[in-house]
Chain A
Amino acid sequence: MSALSHMSGSVGRLRAEGRTGVGVTRPGLAWAVPATVFFLLFAIVPLALVAVLSFTSWNGVDAPRFNGLANWTSLLHDPVMTQSVRLTLVLTVAGAVVQTPVSILLGVWAAGHQRNRAVLSAIFFIPLLLSATAVSVVWRAVLDPNFGVPSQMEWLFGDGNLMGSQAGALAVLTFVGMWQWTPMHALLYQGGARAIPRVLYQAAAIDGAGKVRQFLHITLPQLRNTMITSVILMLVGGLTTFDTVLILTQGGPGTDTTNSAFYMYRRAFKSFDFGEGSAIALVLVMVATLVSLAVVRLSGYDRMRSTSEGL
């Protein structure tokens, strides 16, 4: 029986090689239709519409009217827009710079075999379970200058009004971003670190390399591809940071933490200037796509260099 099915199996393969599709039934395109139509309607069409709406004036109630480049010229001369682009870049770069080393260390640590590792990492990754909203709400309560922790720890926080200055507010946003996102990136690095062949460490140990040198010369280079994935996620996430800004600083003090995503929300849903909001959104999409492409290019990821060359 099994020999028979084996034989007929290879006959089937022969036939399939001769005339594709014979013997093995394949699903038709109809199987892909529901998901594709649904996705086109609720993701691709809106994406196309954002480009169209950026050339219109629309208050959210009447029909959108074409107004040419009016939104774009007004944005170009809008100091808040210029500032928001700068702030977006600052927050994005700061986020990646702060989160990358912390998540590499945490991820490599979590990939090891220390005592209590399982228990500790179960605690370490708890921030993952909270929604971005919950994280921001909690930190806002914790950092409240009057009723939060700063009021009880003046030796550390001074007058406690952390979000009263631009530098302080940006620092808080970066810190909360780190608290929220580091566990996810650490998990990426944990996966990457576990995939590093043990022989590399054994060879290095024989050559007399200590822990630090092993980390610098084996672990880090081997984590290259993970790092690219993680940095792209951080950059795109950083460019579109919204919830944290809305809940923690409302873009303030003044407009000092109004990044582009928040400014888009303000223009569209607070000032009811949906045309300009769309223009900002389009800038965001383009920048996010360019950044991902640039990182992939610059790092040579598109050439898919394997980290196991020469092994």
Chain B
Amino acid sequence: MRRRPNLLAGLGSSLWLVLVGFPLYVLLISTFRTRADYSSKGPLTFPSELTLQNYVDDFSNGFGQDFLNTLLVTLCVVAIVLLVVPPLAYAIVRARGRTIGTVFRIFLLGLAIPAQAVIVPMFYVISKAGLYDNLLGVILPTAAFCLPVCTLVLTGAMRDITNELYEAMAMDGATPWRVFWQLVVPLSRGGLSSVVVFAALQAWNGFLFPLILTQSDSTKVITLGLYDFQTEHGVDVPGLLSAVVLSMLPIFIVYLFARRALIQGLMGVGGK
């Protein structure tokens, strides 16, 4: 096929580059200027002097605690998902009978439930369970709402394992337990990594459940920290934006080194 420079495409992509790059430039450059500099000279000009003070201040404002809370929530959500989803997906793909089909349909139905729709009863359930303002009360619903996508991804990956492999293992008299560990888990590694990334991102970026289900500084996660920062010290834009940069730093590092895995996890599609 002929290749010639496509002016329209070039123009369009440059426009998007500006649209994406512009706020990111403002975001990054503002974090290195002083508050006074930001208020007097605005976000666009280059700062007269560069400072790291905003980042230091974030940590004295409790960002470290928020960071650790978020990390804990993320690790626990990923752990729960890894604990329950692979056996479930294995059963969906391999078990016989009607019941398992019904189970699968329940999880598919779950794909259509927006978290916004259940926050009121979630508040009720979590309060009744005595988990209000407790990180566990954030972890459990967050993990539950990861299950539909994770199940879909992992069953997709497991369906690719051929029947011959199962038969070969059956010849050796393998129990379902051994089949699971020696065949299913190793061969669905791509799907598992997507599931981990998806769950981790849901937990790391989650806002609604922490907003409704926690209130103290000691249980605050990063997203809630950003929201509170803005409502309480809205004028300290450099401080706020440096907290935004810190909040996305871990994801950005993964993006740099494992872009494919991250994007597949983000999209909730199985890695193959």
A residues contacting B by CB (< 8 A) are 5, 8-9, 12-13, 16, 20-21, 23-29, 31-32, 34-36, 38-47, 49-50, 53, 58, 60, 64, 102, 105-106, 109, 112, 114, 120, 122-134, 137-142, 144, 147-149, 151-153, 179, 184, 187-188, 191, 201-202, 205, 211, 236, 239-240, 242-243, 246-247, 261, 264-265, 268-269, 274, 277-278, 281-282, 284-285, 288-289, 292
Contact = CB atoms under 8 A, between A and B. Distances in A.
Contact of A35 (B87, B206, B207, B259): B87
B244 A134 contact: yes
Interface in B135-185: 140-141, 143-145, 147, 151, 163-164, 166-168, 170-171, 174-176, 179-180
B6 interface: yes
B212 to A, nearest CB: 7
Given A39-B110, A278-B121, A132 B207 contact: yes
A66 B104 CA distance: 34
Contacts of B85: 35
Interface of B: 1-2, 6, 9, 12-13, 16-17, 19-21, 23-24, 26-27, 30, 38-39, 42-45, 80, 83-85, 87-88, 90-92, 94-97, 99-100, 103, 106-107, 110, 112-125, 140-141, 143-145, 147, 151, 163-164, 166-168, 170-171, 174-176, 179-180, 204-208, 212, 223-224, 226-227, 230, 235, 237, 240-241, 244, 247-248, 251-252, 255, 259, 263, 266-267, 269
B176 A130 contact: no
Given A29-B91, A131-B205, A138-B241, A151 B20 contact: no
Contact of A133 (B24, B179, B227): B227
Nearest to A241: B116
Contact of B174 (A9, A25, A46, A282): A25
Contact of B207 (A133, A284, A285): A133
Contacts, number: 288
Given A26-B176, A47-B118, A242-B208, A179 B43 contact: no
Contact of A41 (B83, B144, B226, B240): B144
B176 A34 contact: no
Contacts of B175: 25
Contacts of A188: 267
Contacts of A236: 112, 114
Given A21-B96, A47-B121, 15 more contacts: A8-B171, A13-B167, A29-B99, A32-B92, A38-B140, A38-B144, A39-B106, A125-B263, A141-B237, A151-B42, A153-B44, A202-B1, A246-B227, A268-B123, A288-B112
A124 B171 contact: no
A45 B230 CA distance: 34
B223 A134 contact: yes
A109 B205 contact: no
A211 to B, nearest CB: 6
Contacts of B123: 60, 268-269, 274
Contact of A31 (B21, B95, B112, B266): B95
Interface centre among A42, A50, A288 (most CB of B within 10 A): A42
Given A53-B124, A123-B21, A26 B96 contact: yes
A26 B95 contact: yes
Contact of A124 (B20, B30, B119): B20
B91 A32 contact: yes
A39 B269 CA distance: 21
A111 B17 CA distance: 17
B218 to A, nearest CB: 20
A182 to B, nearest CB: 8
A32 B49 CA distance: 59
A264 B171 CA distance: 58
Contacts of B122: 42, 46
Contact of A137 (B13, B141, B168, B227): B227
Contacts of A43: 110, 113, 118, 141, 144-145, 147
B97 to A, nearest CB: 7
Contacts of A58: 124
Contacts of A289: 112
Given A9-B164, A29-B97, A43-B147, A142 B26 contact: yes
